[in-house]
Amino acid sequence: MGKWTRRAFIGAGVAAGGALVVGIAVRPGNPIDRLSPLVAKGKGEQLINAWVKIDADNIVTAIVPHVEMGQGIFTSLAQMLADELDADWSKVRILEAPADDKYVSHDIVREFAAPNLEVPAILEPTASGSFLSLATVMTLQITGGSFSIRGTGQRAMRTAGAAAREMLVAAAAKEWNVRAAELRTENSMVLHDKSSKSATFASFATAAAEQSLPAKPKLKSPKDYKLMGKPIARTDIPEKTDGSAIFGIDADLPGMKYAAVKAPPVVGAAVETMDATTAKTMPGVLQILNMGDFVAVVADGYWQAEQALATIDTTYSKTDGDGLDQDALFARYAKMLDEAGDSDGDVEAEEGDVGEAFANAATKVEAEYKVPFLAHATMEPMNCTAWVREGKCDVWSGTQMPLMARKAAAETSGIDYDNVTYHNAYLGGGFGRRAEMDMIIMATRIAKATQYPVKMIWSREEDTMQDHYRPSATSRFQGGLDKDGKAVSWSNIHTHLFDPQEAPTVPYYNIANHKIRKIDVPTHLRFGPWRSVDHSQHGFFIESFVDEMAQAAGKDGYAFRRELLAGSPRHLKVLDTAAKMSGWDKPLPEGHGRGIAFVPSFGTIIAEVAEVDMTGKKPKVKKIFVAADPGFAVNPDGFAAQMESSIAYGLTATLFGEISVKDGAVQQSNFHDYPILRINEMPDVAVEIINGDHKRLGGAGEPGLPPLAPAVTNAIFAATGKRVRELPLSKVDFA
Amino acid sequence: MKAVFRASALVLVITLAACGSDPAPEPTEQIVVREPGADASEASDTTAPEPAGEATASLVAAGKSAFNTCIACHVLEKGGANRIGPNLYGIIGQAAGSADGFKYSDAMASSGITWTKEELDSYLANPAAKVPGTTMMAGAISDAGQREAIIAYIEDASAN
């Protein structure tokens, strides 16, 4: 991350009203002649990202290029900028960046396009240049991948704050005719102790903009942090508590009408016939649309639209998915895994010779695990409001990808990109669902047909049945142990790979011989990122199998993992902390059990211990102990909240989460058959944060989830001796 | 409320899909039962009826609804707190930049405008053109009828 400043240049200017605006100009840069052919020509200055402004009232506004979906990111990113600036937190305001290409999240492209990219320093400008170009092409402005703090915050918000501070100091030094080194900053003031002079940032804002731009603004070391590392209250909580917060579904326009929609139950089918005889006569109905891939009713009110929609008879075209049931789908996975045998499939990681090591192993362990499709079930159902008229298009929603939404609206409406405005609001839950564009495209198509503003809202049933699901998946393992119970081989083949690429791999475990493969299994359901993405299933697969190997080795799950992590002190510290928090060695009452799981993901190392009560008919998860090393937690309270919410979300999936298909259609439709964890089912959660490396930050939004399911099922094994190899637990008979 | 004639017949419009491979296909079938303007007041009237025959009341009601786009930033009540934008209570007839305690842009504070209905109308039509440098980023209302309604509502609410 320290390399950032070599290719970042600071840009500044004075905006209307005397505000100092500091931004970072990111250029592909190419100081080395022999590399020039590798850099795309004619790029020049690509992006000017303005992230901080200071107005005449000494109010500092942090402009945040990410969306707020309950994860508290507005507060944490502003904290990072304000700390480097030495701003008075009570005078800091936060503004969400507009859906504009200037706010492209280039960092996220870099991380996602080449997650393990380690290029020699000499190549950095080239790598950077090409990824910036990619970012521009893809029109990204993503909030996802647990990336905002470790990417945008660490590389951009802090740099912008530090640069603004240095420019203000330089301006003050000039005006007071003192050396800059004699000045200090505090609470949005510049102070000269020798002469007892002090003045607000605002009084130097204009002069600061004329200062030369610091090429390498000095970032604080942790001992000087004033805001970072503090549990500062989230700025979005009051308005979410009193109900004044505006979400996408709250969009309200003069003359706006409402649309209810229904898509064919089998994804991929087309609407062949539509009988709207009754719907046409129903109150409030304005238009009935057969869009080919869905039916829409537009009415004065949403209820009227829904009621009319329910009366419409439709027939759908036949598709390949029509006859498919969930059992047949798992049978298809099994058949393809059988066919892949010991050598086919795509190799994702390989070291040593697993074939030989497994053949010679003293103890052999084999297991197969399965997980179902999962829906996102955001509290706010999918919705979008669009208005297409006279060469202009405006779209309102809450999305994780505002720029992509703008682009989708432009392409769908056929209106020039520059005349399309995308208005983003708070997201009532994202979890990856709002990284999809289907709701934007559908609403824009409806509004294009009506030419007046329309708010499209999906019913909960549509939301559940037309999701982009976490894939159902099967994973098979073979593990070998030597005569001392030491793991010597690890072989895995599984269905599907979406993202991140490293999710199925275990580079942190010392197993000399390992081979990990995947096969692609076509299904007609749409896949989408679901909180922690592929780590959600692989966390369960990997950590269940590690536990089975420990059992076969006759070892305790915690002790066995300690062996696997030998030589990795940072990893061991996390594992040890979780064990210590849980009182791992202390006995539990009869019928209770503890399980441990360890999954590093999204740059954060996490171990969780679950304590489960199996004395009743159903598992009761009593406690979860989380030890996490995110490098450095910028807002520890926000970080802990993300751990707690990951546990609520992950436990929902572990206990009941299941989307299944019958005759090609999703069987579940609402919360009665796709339940969400209730408050009485929520375990006590204890979180301990380890700030292990302040230079390499990890994410918070997702990494708390992957260890949860295996910690719970390993605890069930400890309590009952019953090994759970298929989720959710509601399918398992514990009688 | 005013008597409104319902559109007498269902209007049926059938459009053929242009092309199956279009990423954003238009409707294969579009049944227009009614245009929104045709009986909007009848359809949306679920609250107490207005006094009959009062065009102004109808305009104010329309303005109240249209003002929903403004309430994210403005309140319209006596003594109400300024939000992102100033309180608009009693703005008609006032000099620009005179709401108590609101930090106006220099452009607005020095505009010299007195907010007659006509001035408000031209400002709302295109704020950035009328007062270059204004911090009112949203709020351009291209529909003259809507501007008239909003201004009528502001005037009416300020009189209460």
Indicate the range of A28-42, A197-211, A260-274, A385-399 predicted with least confidence: A28-42
pLDDT for residue A177: 96
Question: Which residues in chain A have their CB less than 8 angstroms from residue B105's CB?
Answer: 16-17
Q: Is residue B126 part of a domain?
A: yes
Q: Do residues B18 and B92 both lie within one domain?
A: no
Nearest CB among A16, A257, A300 relative to B107 is that of A16
Q: A460 to chain B, minimum CA–CA distance in Å?
A: 24
Q: Is residue B65 part of a domain?
A: yes
* Interface pTM, i.e. ipTM: 0.81
Q: B147 to chain A, minimum CA–CA distance in Å?
A: 11
Yes or no: say if A3 and A159 are a contact pair by the CB < 8 Å rule. no
Range of the domain at B30: 11-44
Task: Give the DSSP letter of residue A394.
Answer: E
What DSSP string describes A566-611? TT-HHHHHHHHHHHHHHTTTS---TTEEEEEEEEEETTEEEEEEEE
Mean pLDDT of A352-381: 97
Q: Do residues B22 and B92 both lie within one domain?
A: no
- Looking at per-residue pLDDT, the higher value among B119 and B136 belongs to B119
Q: Is residue B3 part of a domain?
A: no
Q: What is the pLDDT of residues A74-85, one digit of tens each?
A: 899 999 999 999
Q: What is the pLDDT of residues A454-469, one digit of tens each?
A: 999 999 999 999 999 9
Helix or strand holding residue A320 (H, E)? none
Nearest in space to A578 (alpha carbons), one of A538, A611, A619, A547: A611
Residue A380 to residue A626: CA distance in whole angstroms = 28
With a CB cutoff of 8 Å and minimum separation 6, the contacts of A115 are A500, A501, A502
Structure token digits, residue A291: 């869009």
Q: Do residues B75 and B95 both lie within one domain?
A: yes
With CB atoms and an 8 Å threshold, state whether B36 touches A283.
no
What DSSP string describes B26-90? PPSEEEE---GGGGHHHHH--SPPPPTT-HHHHHHHHHHHHGGGTTTT---STTPPP-SS---TT
Q: Do residues B63 and B103 both lie within one domain?
A: yes
Q: Is residue B2 part of a domain?
A: no
Give first-to-last CA distance, chain A, whole Å. 53
Phi and psi at residue A388, to the nearest 5°? -115, 120
pLDDT for residue A146: 77
With a CB cutoff of 8 Å and minimum separation 6, the contacts of A221 are none
Interfacial residues of B (vs A; Cβ cutoff 8 Å): 10, 17, 23-36, 40, 43-44, 62, 65-66, 68-69, 72, 103, 105-107, 133, 135, 143, 146
Q: Do residues B103 and B132 both lie within one domain?
A: yes
Q: Which residue of B has its CA nearest to A389?
A: B142
pLDDT of residue A720 exceeding 80: yes
Nearest CB among A289, A301, A414 relative to B27 is that of A289
Nearest CB among B25, B133, B143 relative to A16 is that of B133
pLDDT of residue A622 exceeding 60: yes
Q: Is residue B6 part of a domain?
A: no
DSSP 3-state of A730 = helix
Residue A313 to residue A38: CA distance in whole angstroms = 59
Q: Do residues B35 and B59 both lie within one domain?
A: no
Mean pLDDT of A375-401: 95
Preferred mutation among A95, A300, A426, A439 to probe B, highest tally of B CBs within 10 A: A300
Q: Name the pTM for this structure.
A: 0.78
Q: What is the pLDDT of residues A326-352, one digit of tens each?
A: 999 999 999 999 999 988 999 999 999
DSSP 3-state of A680 = helix
Nearest CB among B30, B33, B66 relative to A280 is that of B33
Q: Is residue B106 part of a domain?
A: yes
Strand pairing report for A92-96 and A60-64: parallel
The share of chain A scoring above pLDDT 70, in percent, equals 86
Q: Do residues B37 and B107 both lie within one domain?
A: no
What CATH number is given to the structural domain containing B87? Answer: 1.10.760.10
Give chain A's domains with CATH numbers. 2-241 (3.30.365.10), 248-318+382-457 (3.30.365.10), 341-373+469-731 (3.30.365.10)
Q: Do residues B34 and B81 both lie within one domain?
A: no
CB environment A497-509: b (16+ within 10 A), e (fewer): bbbbebbbbbeeb
Q: Do residues B36 and B67 both lie within one domain?
A: no
Cα→Cα distances A253→A306, A386, B68, B141, Å: 20, 10, 7, 11
With tokens 């997702």, the residue in question is A702
pLDDT of residue A718 exceeding 70: yes
Nearest in space to A190 (alpha carbons), one of A209, A170, A163: A170
With CB atoms and an 8 Å threshold, state whether A291 touches B25.
yes
Q: What is the pLDDT of residues A484-530, one digit of tens each?
A: 999 999 999 999 888 888 999 999 999 999 999 999 998 899 999 99
Positive or negative CA dihedral for A346, A348, A354, A358? negative
Residue A143 to residue A134: CA distance in whole angstroms = 17
Preferred mutation among B14, B31, B75 to probe A, highest tally of A CBs within 10 A: B31
Q: Is residue B49 part of a domain?
A: no
Confidence of residue A590 (pLDDT cuts 50, 70, 90): very high
Interfacial residues of A (vs B; Cβ cutoff 8 Å): 16-18, 57, 246, 252-255, 257, 271, 274, 276, 280, 283-293, 300-301, 411-414, 441, 444-445, 448-449, 452
Other beta carbons within 10 angstroms of residue B38's beta carbon come to 16
pLDDT of residue B31 exceeding 60: yes
Confidence of residue A132 (pLDDT cuts 50, 70, 90): very low
Question: Which residues in chain B have their CB less than 8 angstroms from residue A252's CB?
Answer: 68-69
- Looking at per-residue pLDDT, the higher value among A590 and A133 belongs to A590
With CB atoms and an 8 Å threshold, state whether B26 touches A18.
no
CA A670 to chain centre: 24
Q: What is the pLDDT of residues A425-447, one digit of tens each?
A: 999 999 999 989 999 999 999 99
Integer-rounded Cα Rg, in Å, for chain B is 20
With CB atoms and an 8 Å threshold, state whether B28 touches A271.
yes
Q: Do residues B152 and B124 both lie within one domain?
A: yes
Nearest in space to A476 (alpha carbons), one of A364, A654, A338: A338
How many domains is chain B built from?
Answer: 2
With CB atoms and an 8 Å threshold, state whether A291 touches B27.
yes
Give first-to-last CA distance, chain B, whole Å. 21
Q: B93 to chain A, minimum CA–CA distance in Å?
A: 25
Q: Do residues B95 and B153 both lie within one domain?
A: yes
Q: Is residue B50 part of a domain?
A: no
Q: Do residues B94 and B152 both lie within one domain?
A: yes
